[in-house]
Amino acid sequence: MTNLNRFILHLCSFNCLTKIIAYMLISQSTGKFLKRKSKFNIGNEEIDLTIPIVMGIVNVTPDSFYDGGKMEDENVLLASVENMIEDGVSILDIGGVSTKPGSQMVSTKTELERLIPAVQAIRSHFPGVPISIDTFRPWVAVQIIDEIGPVMVNDISGGSLDSKMFETIGRLKVPYVLCHIQGTPATMQDEPQYEDVVKEVSNYFSERVKRLTKFGVEDIVIDPGFGFGKNLDHNYELLNRLDSFKVFQLPVLVGMSRKSMIWKALEITPETSLNGTTVANTLALMGGADILRVHDVKEAVEAVKLFCEIKATIKK
């Protein structure tokens, strides 16, 4: 390591802006540090992020804000998943606990009772489709992996709701989505406060990515957590400055599908917010998003295709 790189690494111990400058200098000065991974595996299935991909939301909960209760019937669940696959989904994200604002947590037992039959049915009927589990509980991740094999773990709490999560992910050797949240689902929208939302989210990622790597976690995806402890202005500031998170050289996931940041701004309802979601997703792609987490796969896949067409003309 050169003296320049030692100096740059020393800078990383200071504030967020200095860290970002340091990370940029490292990557520019050697090309060896912070090399972005464009591929990772969920079990035997390769996830290729050389172009953005779409993650389909599968909620097996009775109280999710948009599709609560729709997937409780196995036939409906499998038909919905089949449609997503036909529409071009790359990963299915299955959740057994509603994390909408104000929601109350259910027990681990209830979460597993919802998840296990769903993931077993999906894996049985569609064995080649990569699966992500939307959970903040390490024990749930362990149980699901014991039942069906490797999955990605999508943790909306970023490890804040269970201190054993990072250690467990390191032991399981599975990909992990690190989401930013302020507060808990029950309290997160009670007047969230930031001096600089992008800076504070960046600090959050910096600290937690360091901890994850200490536990041996290799495949990390970062999610700025739209709607998780942010008001309307915070959400749009994050969207406007999404490219700030490229400095981490990690895949970026965004989940804005039919959320209140869209339907409140447009003064409509979640049911009528698909057009707004597509616009927001397109802006996210322009800001460097790698994974779009959505309810409506077809429209998101089409947005990705058009974005790639535009990007190809720019390169020419």
Residue-level pLDDT at 63: 57
For the chain, domains (ranges, CATH) are 1-34 (no CATH), 43-315 (3.20.20.20)
Write the DSSP assignment of 212-253 as a string of letters: HHHTT---EEEE--TTSS--HHHHHHHHHTGGGGGGG-S-BE
Q: Please give the torsion angle defined by the CA atoms of residues 89, 91, 97 and 103, in that order, rounded to the nearest 10 degrees.
A: -60
Please name which of 90, 101, 34 lies closest in space to residue 66, comparing C-alpha atoms.
Answer: 101
Residue-level pLDDT at 316: 60
Sign of torsion, CA 191 195 199 203?
Answer: negative
Active site residues: 259, 293
Which segments within 49-168 are labelled E, that is strand? 53-59, 91-95, 131-134, 152-155
Question: Using an 8 Å Cβ cutoff, are 93 and 56 in contact?
Answer: yes
Please name which of 15, 60, 67 lies closest in space to residue 273, comparing C-alpha atoms.
Answer: 67
Residue-level pLDDT at 11: 46
What's the rounded Cα separation, in Å, for the pair 154 and 176? 6
Residue-level pLDDT at 131: 98
Residue-level pLDDT at 100: 73
Coil, helix or strand for 189?
coil
The token pair at 209 is 């990515």
Q: Count other Cβ atoms within 10 Å, centred on residue 292.
A: 29
Mean pLDDT per segment of 10 residues, for the chain of length 316 residues?
45 49 45 68 97 97 59 88 98 91 82 95 96 97 95 97 97 98 76 92 97 97 95 96 97 96 94 96 98 98 97 79
Residue-level pLDDT at 314: 81
